[in-house]
Each structure stands twice: as C-alpha cells, then as structure tokens.
Structure 1
Amino acid sequence: MRDVCWRCRRPRPVCYCALLPSLPTRTRVVLLQHPRERRVGIGTARMTHLSLPNSELHEGVVFEDDARIAALAGDRTTAVLYPGGDAHPADGPPVRSLIVVDGTWWQARKMLALNPRLAAVRRIGITPRSPGNYRIRKEPRPECLATIEAVASALGAIEGEPARFDAMLRAFEFMVDRQIEHQARSTAPRRRRAPAPPPLAPLRPYLADPARLVLVDGGANAGWPAADGAAEPRSELVHLVACRASGERFEAFLRPRRPLGPSVAHQLEVPEARLRDGEDAGAALGRFRAFVGDRGVLGTWGAFTVDLLAQEGLWRPPCLDLRELCARHMRRRPGGIAGGARALHAGEPAPRGAGRCGRTVGWLEVVLARLLDLAGEDHGAALPGG
C-alpha cells in the first residue's frame, strides 16, 4: 500500500503541502466539487481549499436543498465564477462570497442546469493574464484554466492584489512538473486500451424488441420569484408525456404542490388551467410506473426528466440517453433535439402529447427510429418492421 499524505491525499513522494501558502482573504470561497472530480488525483480543488483559510469545500451534484448554499445564493454579494455571455468582470460590484463549480466543463454545465438557484446567481468571469499551465490534463480551449488558476485570478481581481495570489500556484506548478517527470521516467509498457465498442452498441439489445424503450419527457414548475430573498424551492414535475415504439401513449398533468411559476404554462406551451386542474402527483406517477412496467427502459434527451422523476421519489428504471448516443455517433454535441434529429437525417415528427413535452417525445420517436436503423447496420442485422 502506498504511503499517502493525509492532508493533500497525494503519495508522499509528490506531496505538495510544503509549498502551500495560507492566504487570508476578505472573500469567502465556496468550492462545489463534482463527486467524480474528487477521485482525480491531479485535481486542484483541494489544493485551493488548503491554500485559503476562508474557504469551504462541498462535494455533490444537486445543492437545491442545502441550507448553506441556499443562504449564499440569496445574498446579493455572492457571485458564481463561471464564464459565458452573461458573466461580468471580476473587478465589478463587491463580492463577499465566490462560489466555484469544480469539474469538467460538461460536469459544471450539468451542475448549473440541476441547480436553478445557483444558475440565477450573478456570474463573473476572468481574463487570464497568461495561458493555463495544466499541461497534464486536456482542456477544451487554450484559455481554459485549472480551478486553482481560475480562483487565484478571480481573487486577484476582486481584492485588487493580483500578485499576492500567485503564491497559490507554486504547489500547482510542482504537481504538474512532478507528474510530467514521472511520465517521462516511466519504463512500464503502456497499457493497451481495449477497442472501444461501436457508438450505438447500447441499442443492440432493443433491435428485436424496441417496445421495451419508453420515450419520455417531463416539464417542471420552476422560475417563480423568491419572496423577500428567501430561497426558492426546487423544481417539481407537472407534465409528463411518454410513448412506446409500439404506439402506446401516456400523458399526465400533475397538480402543482407549490405556487405555479408565472411563466411555466407559457414555457410548457399548455393552458394554465390544465396544470392547475391536474391529477394527484402520486396517482399520476403510479400510472406512469405501471405504463413503464418491470422491463421498461426510459429513453430521454439528457438527464433532466430522469432527475425530475427521481426528485418526485420515483424508482430509477434503466435509462438510455439518446442525446449521448447521438453525440457518440456524430462525434460532436448534437445540440437541441430538433437539430440533432435533422443532423441524423431522421424524419419529421408527429406530436405525441400536448405542448413542448409532446413535441419533444415526437422528436425522440424519430431519433430512436433512426438510431435503431444505424445500430442495425452496424450490427449486420435486419430491423423488425413497423
């Protein structure tokens, strides 16, 4: 067993603790680390936390029910460090608490999508003074930075002392240099990766029985204003549309358990009265579970609907993310479902229910048919008719 430093959790020969500063800050730094990132030995969130006494490190994906994060999100002096078109310079209005999402770009985007409270907080971005030094990890763009680099730059701008926070980078540079040296010295033969399975291999079990797949999309009650700065509650499922390849359909409007958001009916493209007069949530979800059955597998576009169902306490049946399968096949992100379907040269859909959810399930139907065709060609098998 390797001797590991309890503090930085790195093997003793590459422990960087001696190079860690202890930098007092006016700004409270709150790191939200994706669980997968915690298992990455060359991650920098813990290094950042150890360098800043006025910091917190939380692990998770969904923080909507976390009282601490709710309080921070409701404070006007809190900002989220996240780039994008709506991000403001870090040297703008005062920031007392800085929330930092730690993960890959894909993980960070997903975490914001699953945390509407965080997504609504003011965002700040930074302009790097120099290119990132994360030479042991592939970044999507040259200007992308490691978490510790981004936090050092942001604190330098917020507190007006850029040079002071350069001390945070000594341990980071040591870790990068030692990792590169280790790779150069290593004489062990490189492991051969097993050939990757065909991109659409997950669809093979359904070539002969596509009716096991239940295509589903859900709409949420979200987006209502919080009263007096109080934390807004998490989203709740209010519309659910599903269908099978065999043509069976399911639709339910779930009566809201909380005040209906002011723009929910408009966003879901259904009359507000249908939402307010919906059936009891427990009864609707019971019907849906019976519709899916014991062998059913959910087919979705992304994880949003599955997460909504899980928040409602529904069991988690097996799932196939058709967006992910499209991305594997196309070797690029497909974007929205309509654009993805057209890029695959799928047919035009027929709505399978009311509003936006019904239209999405129609798109899911044509995407699935096209992907099954492609999977059958890859497999050398004829698809069932109908």
Structure 2
Amino acid sequence: MSRYCSQCGKALKVCICSSIESIQTDVELIILQHPTEEHRPMGSARILSLSLPNSQCFVGEDFREHHELQQLLNEDGVDHYVLYPSDVSVVATEIMSVSGDTKKTRVILLDGTWKKAFKMWQINTQLHHLPSLHLPKELSGNYRIRKAPSENALSTVEAGYHVLSLIEPERDFTPLVRAFEQMIDTQIRHMPPGVFERNYLQ
C-alpha cells in the first residue's frame, strides 16, 4: 500500500485533499513547474491545480518545444499574460474585471525558487512576447516552512490567489489560502520537536 495520496501526491499523514475546495473561474491558470518542485513535500502549486478546474500544470524547465503549451499559446480568442516582474510588466489590477469580455484570459505562473524561475524565464523566450504582470509590492507572503528571500516573496499558491483576486474581484478565492494554511500547519505538526523553531523562527 502506498504511503502517498494518489490525488495530491503528498504523504498520507499530511494529505491536503480534505482542505481542497473547487473554485470556478473565468481566468485560466497555466503553471510551468520546475522539475525540482514536482515532488517537494512543501510545494504549494498542487493546491492550485486541485482547486481550479480551469488550470493546467506542465513540468519542465525548457518549454520552447512543448507541444501542448504551444497549442494553448496559439489558440485564437485568448489573451495570455505571464506573472513575472519584468522591466515592462504592469500591475495585475490593470487587467481586472474580465467578466463579460468575449476573449478568454490565461495567466502563466512559473513555479520554482526565485533563482530557478529566473532561469526558466531566460530560457523560455517565447514568453517574452506576452504581456507580463506583477503583483502590488506591498503584499507579503506567509510561507513559514520555506526560507524566503524577502518578506514580500510569495508561494505559488499565494501568487495565484492574489492575481486571481485582482482580476476577478467578484469571486472569493480565500479557500486557496485556507488550504495553504492548513498544509503548513499540518507539516509543522509532523516535524520532529524543535525543528520548526530551530530552522524557521530564527
């Protein structure tokens, strides 16, 4: 019998499936996940793909010849954006309120450490031709079980939550944050005594 959940991929003792709520969205998310994140116990992108029927996750580093992604990018009647803070990115609020728009909206997220996401951005030059978005700089993350480069560094699920909330303010995306918080709390409870305090509270 497997020690891992077949749906969320996490160890059964820290399975997150009971905290997942399905959320219907007009915006579609495409998650490009670095291979080192796919089986990481504390990765958060899985919350997005489990919660959002309008999401897809592709694993890899170089997507320049990824057939399925290229088909999506070539689809007519779709506005594509990349959530990445480039020199020409605009704040996500500038494309808010897609309701009633005849075009579909897709947002691409890069899932990896800042260093690996930067490398993915450099490699996948086809993404440079898409409008890029950034989130308001005053946002702060709550990824208590991973070291963050700065206070406003966000996990992938937090980034997804914020960008969706800004584009579709009429919808409630808080179940994503609740599932994330429950994942963190469960992971902390199953850490050996003193590990969390020693490694993450200093």
Superposed CA offset, 1:39-58 (max 9, x none): 31110111210010111011
Structure 2 vs 1, CA of residues 119 and 177 (structure 1 numbering), >3 Å: closer, same or farther?
same
Q: What is the CA distance between 1:71 and its match in structure 2? A: 3.9
Give the aligned residue type for 2:174. D
Pair 55,174 (structure 1): closer, same or farther in 2 beyond 3 Å: same
Pair 1:174-2:182 in alignment: yes
For residue 80 of structure 1, report the CA deviation from its aligned partner. Answer: 0.5
Match of 2:83 among 81, 104, 114: 81
Tell me the SS of whatever aligns to 1:8. coil
TM-score by length of 1: 0.45
Amino acid at match of 1:83: P
Equivalents in 2 of 1:49, 1:131: separation in Å? Answer: 22
CA distance in 2, matches of 1:8, 1:156: 24
Relative contact order higher in (CA < 8 Å, ≥ 6 apart): 2
Contact 1:70 1:117 in 2 (8 A): no
Q: Secondary structure at the match of 1:57?
A: strand
Question: Would you say the 8 A contact 2:138–2:152 is kept in 1?
Answer: no
Alignment correspondent of 1:66:
66
SS of equivalent to 2:190: helix
What SS does the corresponding residue of 1:56 show, helix, strand or coil?
strand
Whether contact under 8 Å (1:73, 1:117) holds in the other structure is no
Residue 128 to residue 17, structure 1, CA distance change in 2 (3 Å)? farther
Do the aligned residues in 2 keep the contact of 1:73 with 1:118 (CA within 8 Å)?
no
Cα distance in 2, alignment partners of residues 89 and 6 from structure 1? 37
Alignment of 1:150-299 (within 5 A): 150-161=159-170, 164-183=172-191, 185=193
Paired position in structure 2 for 1:56: 56
Q: 1:38 is matched with which residue?
A: 38
Q: Which runs of 5+ in 2 are unaligned?
A: 99-103
Cα distance, 1:72 vs structure 2: 3.9
Counterpart CA distance in 1 for 2:157 and 2:133 is 16
Q: Structure 2: which amino acid aligns with 1:88?
A: V
Structure 1 segments, 4+ long, off by >6 Å, are none
> TM-score normalised to the size of structure 2?
0.84
- 8 Å CA contact retained: 1:72, 1:97: no
Among candidates 142, 151, 154, match of residue 133 of structure 1: 142
The separation in 1 between residues aligned to 2:92 and 2:74, in whole angstroms, is 19
Instruction: Check whether the contact 1:83–1:124 (CA below 8 A) recurs between aligned residues.
Output: yes
1:115-141 per-residue CA deviation (whole Å, 9 max, x = no partner) reads 110122111111267521101001111
1:230 paired residue number? none
Paired positions, count: 187
Task: Provide the residue aligned with 1:109 in structure 2.
Answer: 118
The code of the aligned residue for 2:28 comes to R
Separation of aligned partners in 2, 1:67 and 1:60: 13
Separation in 2, partners of 1:64, 1:115: 6
Identical columns (%): 36
How big is each residue's C-alpha offset from its partner over 1:48-106, in whole Å with a ceiling of 9 and x where there is no partner? Answer: 10010111011111111123322444566100011233211112235701111111111
1:11 equivalent to 2:11? Answer: yes
Instruction: Supply the AA of the counterpart residue of 1:100.
Output: L
Give the root-mean-square deviation of aligned CA atoms: 2.3
Structure number with larger C-alpha Rg = 1
Give the whole-Å Cα distance in 2 for the aligned partners of 1:92 and 1:74: 23
Instruction: Tell me what 1:90 maps to.
Output: 92
> What CA distance in whole angstroms lies between the structure 2 residues aligned with 1:116 and 1:14?
37
Distance change >3 Å, CA 161–CA 85, structure 1 → 2? farther
Structure-2 residue corresponding to 1:382: none
**Corresponding residue for residue 353 of structure 1:** none
Unaligned segments of structure 1, at least 5 residues: 191-386
